[in-house]
Structure 1
Amino acid sequence: MADQAFVTLATNDGYARGAMVLGKSLRNHKTSKKLVALIGPQMSEPCQAVLKRIYDEVKVVDVLDSGDVAHLAMMKRPDLGVTFTKLHCWTLTHYSKCVFMDADTLVLSNIDELFEREELSAAPDPGWPDCFNSGVFVFRPSLETYGKLLQYCTEHGSFDGGDQGVLNGFFSNWATADISKHLPFIYNLSSIAIYTYLPAFKQFGGNAKVVHFLGKTKPWSYTYDTKSKQFKGSMNEASAHPTFLLNWWTLFSSAVVPMLQEQYGDQPFHSGCVEDESSTSLAEATEPQMSSEERKKKWEQGQADYMGMDSFDNIKRKLDTFLK
């Protein structure tokens, strides 16, 4: 339907790369919906130009613009700047229904069926399943809802300092009111959560429709060797699943980089793609050595490095040493 759209937000050039890959993945899986990118005013011209080639609509949003109603709200809550920017998606009232997707998500199959859901439909957050993760959600644009959300922001703030805290506070009955608004986890599969319940990932991971690269290290932060299809340097195995990261980079290097090169022309820019024999394969890549205190903390947070340091074989080897 022409009045339904997938919406994302990219505040800078890094997230723009994420949005480009997301848009391409939606197109590759033959979505029939419109694609909309909300972008920050500081985004470079080449990145804006590429987004305009992938998305049907690219709209600059800026909470610092005094003509914007969010500006007044932000004066009271400057800590929620990026959150206010994300809430702009409710102002897209020329669409009847939308699915918001963070720029660090990747679509693995057609997900147009999400438009059969109602506001606010979202998947549980792996850290606290009675909260939804705001990386993927179904919503209905409405200036009334937008106004109420801004008001909620100024009065209550955010319990986690970001948009997820605000949205969970505002749509506070999500956990209990209507199970049909609980999206299956396969629509927002957290790349971190894979390692907290590995057997479930092995059982159901093949059905994943959307992967979400949560955590500080984003796919575009890595350096990728296009020849050997390997990653350069060390990587945190808990932050991304090798297969999904490879999917992201395959799409970025083949479909997005040529468009960026065209836009940058003679200007130098770093795509993150290299041809270097010294690359480290994902299987070999390990996390930098951490202190036992840091490692303990990771375990307590459910972020054990099951593929490396904390693998079954390594733990068994250590136990065998103690038992001798």
Structure 2
Amino acid sequence: MADQAFVTLATNDSYSLGAMVLGKSLRNHNTTRKLVVLVGPNVSEPRQSVLRRIYDDVKVVDVLDSGDTAHLALMKRPDLGVTLTKLHCWTLTQYSKCVFMDADTLVLSNIDELFDREELSAAPDPGWPDCFNSGVFVFRPSVETYGKLLQYCTEKGSFDGGDQGVLNGFFNDWATADISKHLPFVYNLSSIAIYTYLPAFKQFGGSAKVVHFLGQTKPWSYTFDPQTKQISGGSQEAPTHPAFLLDWWTLYASAVVPMLQEQYGDEPFLTGCMESQESDTTVTTETVQVESSSSHAPMEPVMSSEQRKEQWEQGQADYMGMDSFDNIKRKLDTFLK
């Protein structure tokens, strides 16, 4: 299907790591569609070089310097710069239909059947199910739709300050107009929603096709020991299922790191900034490492998924630690942002 494509966006070097793993996961599950990545101007040339080995098309987009309608819209709403960059996916008119996937998603099985869906098909957001989550959605590229989206941004803005607010405002009949455009949650399983409904995850989680690492803490924020398969570090503000983190890191270490080392030399780690996809503000600086077990003593391992599920189901949440009120509040605040 040369006229259909999976599309993602990497706004910086950190998100480029996610895009690399996403692309590899799509290839590993034998997609028959093209792979396209939109990259921001801050993505370095070595990272772009690796992306070109994974994706069919690497397109640099810079809304600030485009000189088109997006430029004018951005002058009125500078806070929506990265959002408008994401909307560039509607300009890919060489394709008849596309599936957009955030760079912090991971494909667990072949999902080519999504191309049977129509615009705008998406899964409900775990925070407000009458809204769709914009991490995975089916769309039809169109210059006309792109223009209308920019106009909407200029006139209405975004109710959440990001692309999800814009898209839900623009496609405002999603919740009620056509149930066939409601993707099953397994196509966009939120990594931080798992523990809010553990019985459902136990029943249906094995059918997950796409996991979405929502929240500020991304997979590349953790540390991984490939010899012991241990993951450590990160943040407990948005707990992520250890099995999905292990899937991400195993693929990253085996398929992506060798290509990165060809660009950077045999460095044992990569350093980048963990930046929010909704803004250009640097949140924190993280070190993304692939360590040997001899580099230093391992940090305390993440609690296994079964252990934590059992504790929650038995009413034995760690209210003095990771499940304390303050931690839960921080998790909710991060999600609502």
TM (norm. structure 2) is 0.85
Q: What's 1:283 paired with?
A: 303
Q: What's 2:290 paired with?
A: 273
Aligned counterparts of 1:97 and 1:91: Cα–Cα separation in 2: 12
Checking the alignment, whether the CA contact within 8 Å between 1:6 and 1:98 is kept in structure 2 is yes
Q: What's 1:74 paired with?
A: 74
Q: What's 1:99 paired with?
A: 99
Pairwise CA RMSD: 2.4
Distance 1:37 1:295, change over 3 A: closer
Once the two structures are superposed, the pairs formed by residues 1-324 of structure 1 within 5 Å of their partners are: 1-233=1-233, 235-236=235-236, 238-265=238-265, 270=270, 271-276=288-293, 277-283=297-303, 289=321, 293-295=325-327, 297=329
Aligned counterparts of 1:92 and 1:218: Cα–Cα separation in 2: 28
Aligned counterparts of 1:267 and 1:202: Cα–Cα separation in 2: 40
* Greater mean alpha carbon deviation, residues 72-81 or residues 264-273: 264-273
The number of residue pairs the alignment matches comes to 303
What displacement does 1:37 show?
0.2
What displacement does 1:99 show?
0.1
Distance 1:177 1:223, change over 3 A: same
Distance 1:154 1:300, change over 3 A: closer
Checking the alignment, whether the CA contact within 8 Å between 2:268 and 2:291 is kept in structure 1 is no
Aligned counterparts of 1:142 and 1:234: Cα–Cα separation in 2: 39
What displacement does 1:62 show?
0.5
Aligned counterparts of 1:64 and 1:234: Cα–Cα separation in 2: 32
Distance 1:259 1:74, change over 3 A: same
- Partner amino acid, structure 2, of 1:161: G
Checking the alignment, whether the CA contact within 8 Å between 2:238 and 2:331 is kept in structure 1 is no
Distance 1:73 1:268, change over 3 A: farther
- Greater CA radius of gyration, 1 or 2? 1
Distance 1:225 1:145, change over 3 A: same
- Partner amino acid, structure 2, of 1:274: E
Q: What's 2:280 paired with?
A: none
* Greater mean alpha carbon deviation, residues 249-258 or residues 225-234: 225-234
Superimposed CA distance per residue, residues 129-157 of structure 1 (whole angstroms, 9 cap, x where no aligned partner): 00000000000000000000000000000
User: What SS does structure 2 have at the residue aligned with 1:93?
Assistant: coil
Checking the alignment, whether the CA contact within 8 Å between 2:153 and 2:166 is kept in structure 1 is yes
Distance 1:292 1:126, change over 3 A: closer
Superimposed CA distance per residue, residues 208-260 of structure 1 (whole angstroms, 9 cap, x where no aligned partner): 00000000000001111111111233642843110000000000000000000
Checking the alignment, whether the CA contact within 8 Å between 1:234 and 1:280 is kept in structure 2 is no
Aligned counterparts of 1:18 and 1:101: Cα–Cα separation in 2: 11
Aligned counterparts of 1:196 and 1:291: Cα–Cα separation in 2: 12
What displacement does 1:29 show?
0.1
User: What SS does structure 1 have at the residue aligned with 2:134?
Assistant: strand
Aligned counterparts of 1:167 and 1:126: Cα–Cα separation in 2: 16
Checking the alignment, whether the CA contact within 8 Å between 1:224 and 1:231 is kept in structure 2 is yes
Aligned counterparts of 2:68 and 2:132: Cα–Cα separation in 1: 28
User: What SS does structure 2 have at the residue aligned with 1:110?
Assistant: coil
Distance 1:22 1:290, change over 3 A: closer
- Partner amino acid, structure 2, of 1:101: M
User: What SS does structure 2 have at the residue aligned with 1:95?
Assistant: coil
Aligned counterparts of 1:182 and 1:118: Cα–Cα separation in 2: 10
- Partner amino acid, structure 2, of 1:18: G
What displacement does 1:27 show?
0.1
- Partner amino acid, structure 2, of 1:117: R
Checking the alignment, whether the CA contact within 8 Å between 1:214 and 1:239 is kept in structure 2 is no
User: What SS does structure 2 have at the residue aligned with 1:130?
Assistant: coil
Checking the alignment, whether the CA contact within 8 Å between 1:195 and 1:238 is kept in structure 2 is no
Checking the alignment, whether the CA contact within 8 Å between 2:8 and 2:37 is kept in structure 1 is yes
User: What SS does structure 1 have at the residue aligned with 2:158?
Assistant: coil
User: What SS does structure 1 have at the residue aligned with 2:58?
Assistant: strand
| 5+ long unaligned stretches in structure 1 | 304-324
Checking the alignment, whether the CA contact within 8 Å between 2:31 and 2:112 is kept in structure 1 is yes
What displacement does 1:293 show?
4.9
Checking the alignment, whether the CA contact within 8 Å between 2:119 and 2:138 is kept in structure 1 is yes
User: What SS does structure 2 have at the residue aligned with 1:133?
Assistant: strand
Checking the alignment, whether the CA contact within 8 Å between 1:230 and 1:280 is kept in structure 2 is no
Checking the alignment, whether the CA contact within 8 Å between 2:216 and 2:238 is kept in structure 1 is no
- Partner amino acid, structure 1, of 2:329: K
